[in-house]
Structure 1
């Protein structure tokens, strides 16, 4: 096992380092937010095009995979660390651990061009015990819409939809200005023939307050 002797730097010190290397930082609060969520070593490689000419540049290797982050979170036991993470995301650690594990598995399926439509996932995100305001309604079962078998139902909590809810919930913390949800809505609208229930989408999901802004922006943008 390698020994690391370099001291950890605060986010304020990281910003100072980036600035000293010539990076123009017009909005320090925004940089602070993204460093807190993405980390210095992942973000710094993308800052190179924004350095002032003639100033020193630095490139860092992205050595941590999503799976390793998920494993680290699963094994983290120091209360000071776990409580800090809980405060940041405003979710309890058991929920966050299940979310990261589930998204890690989803990422692997996507990376290997696996099917996410009409698929039950082995590791599913845990539902929070206390449902927060604005959280979408996710029933325990929905109709598949099959004409041949109208009685057929499935569990949306084992399908893609719940994982999409989890992704958007975390994006709202990590990158509040992200248009990821809008792109999701546009993608779904582009393929209306694809069965929504088989991905776990409940009926009228797009009227939920959770998705309302993304749906409105995506569809209004299409009209424009």
Structure 2
């Protein structure tokens, strides 16, 4: 087997000191209000990461008039806080979905029914799921996993096994359920939603979660996995590839109306705090608050 090797090339740009990075910004027309503060920021947030927030503020590497270093940092700061809010919401969706899948599946097939590929749409995808699940169980350090290995010879009922899955695996599991089972989950727990729509939303949410978990930029980002939209919602969503489309559809997956509206209020407070944010770059329009509230 060929070993992976890092190729060494001298064709890339040479590294720059923090002082040189600031000089580049200034040469392109960026206003630096406080150089010492800017140096401190660039010493803990890489130039490469920081410049991603400048993309909408310049043309041909020249900043628009009156764009400041603090403006860019505020966009970075907003994005960080927005990711934290999103991660909290995604956790609520994920924990609920684990519970709902296990309840419906165990009732219909019994606790070990998930082992049988006949209970799924695609047997090959089911085999992949079982392989991934076994790896996660073996790697797990959770006490409940050790308990089931010791006391039940490693037989994990679905309500136990599903607790070690990632959202990505959970999304694939849901998508591979039989159509009737997906629709049963939608009927029992999500006000009669079609399983096809839920599967699409979980896929998009999983992608968003992975980006958030690795501290990726949400602001001014196009997401490759666009969620399905109800016809009635299309007028209220200006760009299906921005984060708002995913957030909007999560409202259908949150059964606790009080929690959802509280989360939306915190999101509105965050947006109000950062006037520098261009709502269009996260897919929001001016009436987003009224549309997203339950």
Q: Name the TM-score, length of structure 2 as normaliser.
A: 0.42
Distance 2:271 2:173 in 1: 34
Query: 1:64 corresponds to which residue?
Result: 165
Whether 2:184 is the aligned partner of 1:84: answer yes
Is contact 1:138-1:157 (8 Å) kept?
no
Whether 2:204 is the aligned partner of 1:102: answer yes
Whether 2:167 is the aligned partner of 1:167: answer no
| SS of corresponding position for 2:230 | coil
Distance 1:184 1:125 in 2: 21
1:39 to 84, 93, 99: 99
Structure 1 spans left out of the alignment, 5+ residues: 1-34, 43-58, 142-155, 214-224
Equivalences for residues 52-201 of structure 1 within 5 A: 60=144, 62-77=163-178, 79=180, 81-87=181-187, 88-89=189-190, 90-129=192-231, 131=232, 137-139=235-237, 141=238, 156-171=239-254, 173=255, 175-178=256-259, 179-201=262-284
Equivalences for residues 11-22 of structure 1 within 5 A: none
| SS of corresponding position for 1:116 | coil
1:207 Cα deviation after fit = 3.6
Distance 1:161 1:121 in 2: 10
In structure 2, relative to structure 1, the CA distance for the partners of 1:95 and 1:164 (3 Å cut) is: same
In structure 2, relative to structure 1, the CA distance for the partners of 1:207 and 1:181 (3 Å cut) is: closer
- 1:70-123 C-alpha deviation (Å, 9 max, x unpaired): 0111111152x2221121212211111110000000000000000111111100
| SS of corresponding position for 2:250 | helix
When Rg is computed on C-alpha atoms for both structures, the one with the higher figure is 2
| SS of corresponding position for 2:207 | helix
Distance 2:281 2:96 in 1: 36
Is contact 2:243-2:283 (8 Å) kept?
yes
Distance 1:157 1:63 in 2: 31
- Structure with the higher helix share, 1 or 2: 2
**What's the RMSD between the two structures over aligned residues?**
2.8
In structure 2, relative to structure 1, the CA distance for the partners of 1:86 and 1:115 (3 Å cut) is: same
- Equivalent residues, number: 139
In structure 2, relative to structure 1, the CA distance for the partners of 1:37 and 1:177 (3 Å cut) is: farther
Distance 2:96 2:214 in 1: 30
Structure 2 spans left out of the alignment, 5+ residues: 1-94, 103-142, 146-162
Distance 1:160 1:184 in 2: 13
Runs of 4+ with deviation above 4 angstroms: 35-38
